[in-house]
Structure formats: C-alpha cells, structure tokens
Structure 1
Amino acid sequence: MSNAFHNKVAVVTGGSAGIGHVTARKIAEGGGTVYITGRDQGAVTAAAADIPGDVIGVRADSRSADDLDRLFAQVERRSGRLDVL
C-alpha cells in the first residue's frame, strides 16, 4: 500500500458510509490521520472503529456552521493543521 497520505491530516465528510467511508479507509491505509463526519453519532462511531489507523469520528452536519466550527476546532486542537478536505 502506498503511503501517499503519510503525516497528512484529512477530513472526510460523510465518512460513515459509502464512498466517504472507502475514501477515509484509503487515507488511513496511506498513513494519514482521518476525521470522518456524519449526522448520526452511532454510525460515525462504528465507522471510525471499523477503519484501522488514526481515525477520529465526529458527529457533524456539513450544513451547520456551528457543527463545522466545532469540527475544525477539534482538528486544530488535536492535529494542529488540515491538509486534505
């Protein structure tokens, strides 16, 4: 597996299912830290647990400015930067 995402920090919206989940898995497999989001906390938690690596599940609705502010504040606190959205 390529380590194209080694030391990169990514946010994948809709990462709890479908294409978003597969994308998050590929980034994690490539050595990246991945924050996955979704509107359902249970689905986000399960999806994050399903992907090996540094994966953080955050309940966030991308239509909500407050949720996005909270998400990016968490990314800033934990990772200090964002490389891929």
Structure 2
Amino acid sequence: MPEQRGERERTAGARDRTSGTRGGRWRTAAWLTLAVGTAGLVGGVVAGEGLLIAAGLVLAGVAGHLFTPEFRDSGNRHPGNGRPG
C-alpha cells in the first residue's frame, strides 16, 4: 500500500524532495541576474553611460546576495515566519 500512495502523490504533481533540485530556481535566478548585471556593466563602460554602469553594479550585488547560503535556506526567505535566525 505505501508504494501505491507514493505513486499517486507523484502522479498528482506532488513535489519529489529527493530529486536534488532544491534551490534550482534560486540558482538560475542568481546566474541570470549576474549575467544581466555583467552585460549592463560592460555595456555601460563601452558606451560611457554612468547610469548603465550603476545599474550593472546593483544587479551584480543582487546576484551576489542570491548566491549566499543564507538566502537559499528556506527559513530565511520569509522574515516574519517566527523562527529564530
């Protein structure tokens, strides 16, 4: 019976926690943000636009924050959840 219940949960679209994709979306968002920030920074340097350079630096900083282990920990994504930090 437990095998059947597990099979039903998987077919119903339940998330499989053993698949190894934990944090995959955050990692993808971090790399995408870093790529856009780097492109903006390089584009701003080439074009001589200070605002584009600043935007690229800000996005690179956001990407750096997304790469930190503290951010990937699910307990720290919602500061009002009542758990100690």
- TM-score of the superposed pair, with normalisation by structure 2: 0.29
Q: Please identify which structure carries the higher strand content.
A: 1
Q: Please identify which structure carries the higher helix content.
A: 2
Q: Greater CA radius of gyration, 1 or 2?
A: 2
- TM-score of the superposed pair, with normalisation by structure 1: 0.29
Higher relative contact order (CA 8 A, sep 6+): 1
